[in-house]
Amino acid sequence: MTAPVKKNDQLSVYIEDLTHDGAGVAKVDGYPLFIQGALPGETCTVHVLKPLKNYGFAKIVEIEEASPHRVEPPCPVFNSCGGCQLQHLSYEGQLAWKQKMVQDVMQRIGKLDVTVHPTKGMEEPWNYRNKAQIPFGMNGEVPIAGFYKTKSHAIVDTERCLIQTDEADAILSGLKPKLWALGLQPYDEYTKRGQLRHVVVRKARATNEVMVVLVTKKRKFPQKDAVVDTIRQLIPNVKSIMQNVNPDNTNVIFGNETVNLWGETTIEDHIGDVRFEISARSFYQVNPIQTEVLYKQALDYAALTGNETVIDAYCGIGTISLFLAKNAKHVMGVEIVPQAIEDAKRNATLNGFTNTYFEAGPAEEVIPRWFKEGKEADVLMVDPPRKGCDNALLETILSERPKRIVYVSCNPATLARDLRVLEDGGYKTKEVQPVDMFPHTAHCEAVAWLELV
Catalytic positions, written as ranges: 410
Tell me whether residue 152 is exposed, middle or buried, using C-beta atoms within 10 angstroms of its C-beta: 0 to 12, 13 to 18, 19 or more.
exposed
- Between the alpha carbon of residue 43 and those of residues 40, 133, 148, 413, the distances in Å are 9, 37, 30, 28
Give DSSP secondary structure letters for 298-322.
HHHHHT--S--EEEEET-TTTHHHH
Say if CB 84 and CB 441 are below 8 A apart.
yes
The conformation of residue 70, written as its DSSP 8-state character, comes to B
> Helix, strand or coil for residue 346?
helix
62: alpha, beta or left, given left = phi > 0 and alpha = psi -120 to 50?
beta
How do beta strands 379-382 and 404-409 pair? parallel
SS3 string, 151-178, reads CCCCEEECCCCCCCCHHHHHHHHHCHHH
The H or E element spanning position 56 is: strand 56-65
Question: Could you tell me how many residues make up the chain?
Answer: 453
- Between the alpha carbon of residue 130 and those of residues 107, 167, 435, the distances in Å are 34, 10, 17
Say if CB 48 and CB 8 are below 8 A apart.
yes
Taking each helix axis from N to C end, the angle separating 224-234 and 166-174, rounded to the nearest 10 degrees, works out to: 130
- Quote the CA–CA distance of 332 and 340 in Å, as a whole number: 14
DSSP E strand stretches across 66-191 = 115-116, 131-139, 142-148, 155-157
Q: Minimal CA–CA distance to 287: which of 126, 84, 73?
A: 126
Give DSSP secondary structure letters for 270-302.
EETTEEEEE-TT----S-HHHHHHHHHHHHHHH
User: What backbone phi and psi angles, to 5 degrees, belong to 262?
Assistant: -165, 145
Amino acid at the residue 100: K
> Helix, strand or coil for residue 90?
coil
Q: Give 254's contacts (C-beta < 8 A, 6+ positions apart).
A: 215, 244, 246, 280, 281
SS3 string, 387-437, reads CCCCHHHHHHHHHHCCCEEEEEECCHHHHHHHHHHHHHCCEEEEEEEEECC
